[in-house]
Amino acid sequence: MIWVASTFFLLLILGLPVGYTLGIAGVVGILQMGGPEFLPMAPSRFFAGLDLFPFLAMPFFILAGELMNRSGMTERIVGLADALVGWLRGGMAHSNMAASVFFAGITGSATADAAAFGNTLVPAMVRQGYTRSFACAVTAAGSIIGPTIPPSTLMVIYGSIMGVSIAGLFAAGVLPGLLIAVLCMAVIAILARPLNLPKTGDRPSPRIIWVAFKNSLSSLVLPVIVLGGILTGLATPTEAAALAILYALIFGRFVNKKLPNREIVDVLIRTSQITGVVFLIIASASILGWWMTFEQIPQTIAAAFLAVSDNPAVIIGLILALLLIIGLFMDINASLIILAPVLGPLTHQIGMDPVHAGIMIVLALNLSLMTPPVGACLFVLSSVTGEKIESIAKSLWPFLIAELLVLFLIAYWPDLTLLLPRLSGFVQ
């Protein structure tokens, strides 16, 4: 364990990409087991780590999100959000958060949300009188709604490697995602007067809201296709993702006419790049994961946790602390792939439902997307807007407290998370 851990952290410090770091650390572990004759296990586990049908949904959801971004549906969703809440004090901040909810049902990606709104809503908010750091903070806080409300690639990864119903995880993510949006909008409302956030106009008439809804209806159909198909059992997540691609392609190509051949080629290249990075991490982590299983490291860690206390509430607190600390320094996909097989059996031992445990783990890691030093959404917003990461982080802390409250609420109140999965029949 010392050799493997030393190799892993040394390579990370040296700046080697996490996908290669995981694979090399796993190979070092295999060599420690029995020498060079064990090396053929590495390529075997590398390919076996990707040999799961549910993983096919991941590039499909990424492709659907990219197509929707390029076809102009983001602007329509922002228009609806602005009509609904833009008239409040701090209206554009509220609109940003509401748009993140709608956008989450399309892409399921925090970084896609941050990049899209960093290019559009942040400059618009700055023109209206918001500070750039606050605008970026609102966008970062809303971005993690993306991988919480389905479709979520993190839930696909967790469900695939842990054998948990992906449809059940999707259903369980809806209420936590909406709760994050509500509490963050409450934070905006509380800060509106102290920060003198601008108010842009009067409350719109029902007719204006209706027009905005009609204009955005074509964009809102996609989440209905995805979630409706999965929750009703008419489609698997992979099939629903394929239908989403077909819809986005037809709309962008023939209805909105914003997807010429060159754009489609760019979308395919972008999807391949994102998928390649994620799949390299998954495949490499499967080598390290196999070594950890062979050495019974998950059982050792579980025993160490249980030695501290056998109280489930204390164990859940320790799990959350571990996830939040690891998330500060490590890529979210790698963290999930490494920690899920370790923490999953532990949550089972203390009686947690697998779907409840999965949502708790995914949401805890989602928060790391907006916390330095490795917060991916902070880096995206900084590069897109030119704002310093430190300034964004300073404005972000009220939203981070609200989202931590949601995390602890769903961790210790399983009925909130499991309400929709139970109604949908995915959980007893």
Cα within 13 Å of Cα(70), Cβ side: 26
> What pLDDT score does 290 carry?
75
If one counts every other C-beta atom within 10 angstroms of the C-beta of residue 60, the result is 22
> What pLDDT score does 54 carry?
64
Classify residue 326: in a domain, yes or no: yes
Give me the DSSP letters along 334-354. HHHHHHHHHHHHHHHHTT--H
The H-assigned helical ranges of 163-296 are 166-192, 206-231, 237-250, 261-294
> What pLDDT score does 399 carry?
92
> Contact, 270 vs 63, CB < 8 A?
no
pLDDT tens for the 428 residues of the chain, in order: 778 778 877 887 787 777 788 788 888 888 877 667 777 777 777 777 777 666 677 788 778 777 777 776 766 777 777 777 766 777 778 888 887 887 776 666 677 677 777 777 788 888 878 888 888 898 888 888 878 887 777 888 888 888 888 888 888 888 998 999 999 989 988 888 888 877 766 677 778 778 877 777 777 777 777 777 777 777 777 787 788 888 888 887 887 777 788 888 888 888 888 777 777 777 787 777 777 777 777 667 777 777 888 888 998 998 898 888 877 767 777 778 778 888 888 888 888 999 999 999 989 988 887 877 667 778 778 877 888 878 888 888 999 999 999 999 999 999 888 888 888 777 76
| 123 closest CA partner among 188, 181, 78 | 78
Classify residue 17: in a domain, yes or no: no
Classify residue 63: in a domain, yes or no: yes
Distance CA 421, CA 428 (A): 8
How many structural domains does the chain have? 1
Classify residue 265: in a domain, yes or no: yes
Domain region containing 247: 40-424
For 297, the token pair is 């490291």
Classify residue 24: in a domain, yes or no: no
Classify residue 33: in a domain, yes or no: no
> What pLDDT score does 405 carry?
94
> What pLDDT score does 202 carry?
67
Distances (CA, A) of 146 to 235, 240, 284, 388: 21, 17, 26, 23
> What pLDDT score does 340 carry?
84
| 341 closest CA partner among 213, 134, 161, 199 | 161
Classify residue 254: in a domain, yes or no: yes
> What pLDDT score does 146 carry?
77
Classify residue 187: in a domain, yes or no: yes
| 264 closest CA partner among 96, 417, 71 | 71
